[in-house]
Amino acid sequence: MAFGRLERTRGDPPISEINVTPLVDVMLVLVVILIITAPLLASSIRLDLPKAEGTQSTDAPRFVTVVLNPAGQVFLDDQPVAPAQLAERLTAEAKRNPDVELQLRADAKVPYGRVVEVMGLAHQSGLTRIGFVAEPAKN
């Protein structure tokens, strides 16, 4: 009987390199998704949605409503005002609360130039947030 040495066969050495191919594939898919969705996000309507918490804030968002009717009259919070008075009252609102939003309601027959004039008055008064109010389209 011969007692010999049992030779062990050595297996392949472990691979210590990281395979980055799956990582690159995932990143390329994410880049393609970003490229496709970025233009959609830029043209979407921005909303300031309220936060759902247990308590409500005591400071409710303040807004001022300016209405332009087809006859060319201007109303501030449902009261008729002259253009000079409009500028003064908007300035007072902007000084009282700089984050106040102007909600502009203009009739479809009001010329665009008149709407731009009111927007310019609001901007000169210090109001930077302007929202345009419209009726939803009927399908």
Name which residue leads in pLDDT, 8 or 120: 120
Q: Where are the domains of the chain?
A: 63-132
Alpha carbon dihedral 45, 136, 130, 116, in 10-degree steps, equals 120
DSSP 8-state symbol, 109: T
Residue 90 near residue 102 (C-beta atoms within 8 A)? yes
Q: pLDDT tens across 58-106, in order?
A: 454 578 888 888 877 888 888 889 878 888 998 998 898 888 888 888 8
| CATH T-level assignment (fold) for domain 63-132 | Nucleotidyltransferase; domain 5 (3.30.420)
Residue 48 banded pLDDT, cuts 50, 70, 90: very low
Element (H, E) at 101: strand 101-106
Bridge partners for 132 per DSSP = 104
